[in-house]
Amino acid sequence: MKTLLIIDVQNDFMPSGSLPVPDGDKIVPIINAMQPKFDLVVASQDWHPQDHISFASNHQGKAIFDEIELHGKPQTLWPDHCVQGTKGADFHPDLHTTQWEAIFRKGTDREIDSYSGFYDNGHLKSTGLAGYLREKGVSQLYLCGLAADICVYFSTHDAFKEGFACFFVEDASQPLDVEGFITLKKKMDYLGIQIISSADIQ
């Protein structure tokens, strides 16, 4: 079953949001146009409590984009974003959601961040996404969304490790750090993750 996983296309990651991804809004019509080509469409949604440990506002004396150590791993401190129940956590209003069969929320545990749609950053808790996809008989998984170098990258990496044939849809994604993403694309290519355009999808 050919499946599309849409990662975190939410208001706070748009140019007017609290954690803007450059040109993040440009991917919305591309994602809308390709959804009918898939047998199954699912999405992930960043869904943080207000006191989330990844927010710089919850660390006295720290600034946005400072890096700390958390559970033995580096943790970037972000501006408050995608707080549960806020407009910033909503999906972009022009994004078509009627074809979606499921939404998997992540980042709900205040004590640990969760970039991937499959696991938190410590791989301590699963969102249940991998099991859901297997139950549905998914073989090919196409991934897109925001931000390409963070949540989409980590979701793609986890999907690959879970044994899915992975395709990263580049024009339906945008990175926060354009230069840094060049290196990550090389890593994906090395693993055998195919980097494609939405026009390549039949």
pLDDT score for 32 = 98
- Considering 12, 46, 106, 166, which one is annotated as catalytic? 106
Active-site pick, 120, 151, 158, 166: 151
* 106 is annotated as an active-site residue: yes
From the list 8, 25, 120, 158, the catalytic residue is 8
pLDDT at 168: 98
Domains and CATH numbers, the chain: 2-48+87-200 (3.40.50.850)
23 carries an active-site annotation: no
Model pTM?
0.96
Helix H or strand E encompassing 32: helix 28-34
Query: Could you state, in chain order, the average pLDDT of each consecutive group of 10 residues for the chain (202 residues)?
Result: 97 98 98 98 98 96 94 92 98 98 97 96 94 96 98 97 97 96 94 96 92
**CB-based contacts of 169: which residues, under 8 Å, 6+ apart?**
34, 142, 143, 144, 196, 197, 198, 201
H-type alpha helices, 101-141: 129-135
